[in-house]
Amino acid sequence: MNRERPASQHWEWDIYPVPVAPGDGYRWELLPMSDDFNYTAPADDKGPQFTQKWQDTYHNPWTGPGLTEWQRNHSWVEGGHLVIAASRKPNSKQVYAGIITSKERVIYPVYVEARAKISNLVLSSAVWMLSPDDTQEIDILEAYGSDRPDQTWFAERVHLSHHVFIREPFQDYQPTDPGSWYYDGTIWREDFHRYGVYWRDPWHLEYYIDGQLVRTVSGASIIDPLNYTNGTGLSKAMDVIIDMEDQNWRSDNGITPTDEELADDSKRFFYVDWIRFYQLVPEGNQ
């Protein structure tokens, strides 16, 4: 739905310019799938303003990694925010968590940015993009905000990465250089921040936090050094996903939320204020 607005009205994000210069002969065009979440969408009946852009499930029947069990009623919109919630599945070690998936896909050249406040849990709070066949992924935001003393290293970092996969037999490549864990001393759970990715082409990604370029990955040697994409790089259109997860690599090592943490409303919510998408188009195109 292209919610055209009178010239006197603006989107929330209009005060923040796209931090990437479009280049001579090009301009940034806002895509209609952008969402300011300035409406109400109850957990159990989200209504047309939400469902025209989003579904409250993953993009296939999978219900989540590790101890995660995604639940449709663990996402809603209120108070100008998308809320992704987590709770304990009754009488179980499983964790119920919210997830939403875009109904439209994005393809390069595109700039994607979300203003978000991560949860105070050992779960991941994430905004990411994934191809429909689950072989190419770009993580815009992946963070672990828990205030547990032994989790401070993660609370001070944002994981800025991508994956390329072969599904049969399963193989997964992602960068492991130190720059993939961004650190500047911020405790990320304490406030909203803007997390963005410029997906310029199949071989070039730029990551932005609060409008500042913080990481660039470019070329086959870091995008796909094992040639899992058969020379195509990050070339596939992708769904956009916002969710929380209790991921295997943490829960297998005993890092999983307690019942008390999952019952604490000051900890168990991941908030997204808005998400915007800009496609790079030639000047003069309408």
Three-state secondary structure call for residue 180:
helix
Question: How many structural domains are present in the chain?
Answer: 1
Distance separating alpha carbons of residues 35 and 103, to the nearest angstrom: 12
User: pLDDT digits over 130-164, tens only?
Assistant: 999 999 999 999 999 999 999 999 999 999 999 99
Q: Which range marks the domain in which residue 201 is found?
A: 27-282
Q: Which residues contact 166 (CB under 8 A, 6 or more apart)?
A: 135, 228
Answer whether residue 8 is part of any domain. Answer: no
Q: Is residue 170 part of a domain?
A: yes
pLDDT in tens, 103-127: 999 999 999 999 999 999 999 999 9
Judge whether 2 lies within some domain: no
Residue 147's contacts (CB-CB under 8 Å, 6 or more residues apart) are 120, 155, 189, 267
**Bond from prior residue into 169 cis (ω within 30 degrees of 0):** yes
Q: What is the mean pLDDT of residues 85-100?
A: 98
Residues 248-269 pLDDT 10s: 999 999 999 999 999 999 999 9
Residue at 176 is within a domain: yes
Residues with catalytic roles = 137, 142
Run of H or E residues at 48: helix 48-51
Residue 200, domain CATH: 2.60.120.200
Residue 3: pLDDT over 70 = no
